[in-house]
């Protein structure tokens, strides 16, 4: 839950960044948290804490968040 909620908190902070570098930095932190969240979700499935159905409902959402963050970061860096 911590890593998952941290994604939104860091994106919110990025909205009011003091500079472009600060904006990118905060989004990179959000990306790391999203990656960690993906790990925990996979672990929850492997330990049977969540069902395959629950996993299949959650996994595409975190994958999409990761893609969006990478896209924003790359665009902001001018790549």
Token code pair at residue 62: 């975190």
Q: Encode pLDDT of 20-73 as tens digits.
A: 999 999 999 999 999 999 999 999 999 999 999 999 999 999 999 999 999 999
Token code pair at residue 38: 């993906």
Q: Are 31 and 6 in contact (CB under 8 A)?
A: no
Predicted TM-score of the model (pTM) = 0.89
The residues near 6 (Cβ < 8 Å, ≥ 6 apart) are 29, 30, 33
**Rounded Cα distance, 72 and 16, in Å:** 15
């Amino acid at each position: 839950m911590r890593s998952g909620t941290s994604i939104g908190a860091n994106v919110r902070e990025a909205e009011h960044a003091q500079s472009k570098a600060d904006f990118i930095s905060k989004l990179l932190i959000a990306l790391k948290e999203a990656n960690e969240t993906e790990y925990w979700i996979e672990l929850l499935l492997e330990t049977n804490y969540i069902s395959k159905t629950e996993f299949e409902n959650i996994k595409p959402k975190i994958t999409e968040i990761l893609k969006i963050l990478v896209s924003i970061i790359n665009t902001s860096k001018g790549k």
